[in-house]
Amino acid sequence: MSPFSRADRVGGLIQKVLSNILNKNIRDPRLKMTTITSVKVSRDLKQARIYFCTSGGIQKKGDTIEGFNSAHGFIKRTLAHELDLKYMPHLKFFYDESIEYGAHIDELIESTKSENGSNHSTY
């Protein structure tokens, strides 16, 4: 048995091809500097949840989702042509907040270190 399910492999392919499409074929300025962070495909391969982040952060989230919705048909057609799947999953786009959350946690850790830095010595 393979270590990854078919849905995981299809998700990886969608992520790779979609990243190439964004870099080479999409001219929408709302989608510039957008990175696909992960793709989760349902077990029946009918739904694909595509997670992205953008250089503008959460402030550009709405514009980027509008850009993806505007280019949805083109993206789905191009993916279908590149992947040659029997059934192309329905694509839904979601902003990946994990990067901002990680940065927030780092800030909290650093602020705790600076507050307690003079009281504790390192060995």
pLDDT band (50, 70, 90) for residue 120: low
One CATH from 2.60.120.620, 3.30.300.20, 3.30.479.30, 3.40.50.2000 for 6-97: 3.30.300.20
**In the chain, what are the domain boundaries?**
6-97
Query: Quick one: DSSP state of residue 84?
Result: -
- Here the tokens at position 31 are 């989608």
β strands within the chain, DSSP E: 34-41, 47-54, 90-95
Tens digit of pLDDT for each residue in 48-81? 999 999 887 778 888 999 999 999 999 999 999 9
Question: DSSP string of 2-71?
Answer: -SS-HHHHHHHHHHHHHHHHHHHT---GGGTTEEEEEEEE-TTSSEEEEEEEETTGGGGHHHHHHHHHHT
pLDDT at position 112 is 85
Q: Mean pLDDT, to the nearest integer, of 20-44? A: 92
Q: Is the pLDDT of residue 84 over 60?
A: yes
Verdict on whether the full-model pTM lies above 0.75: yes
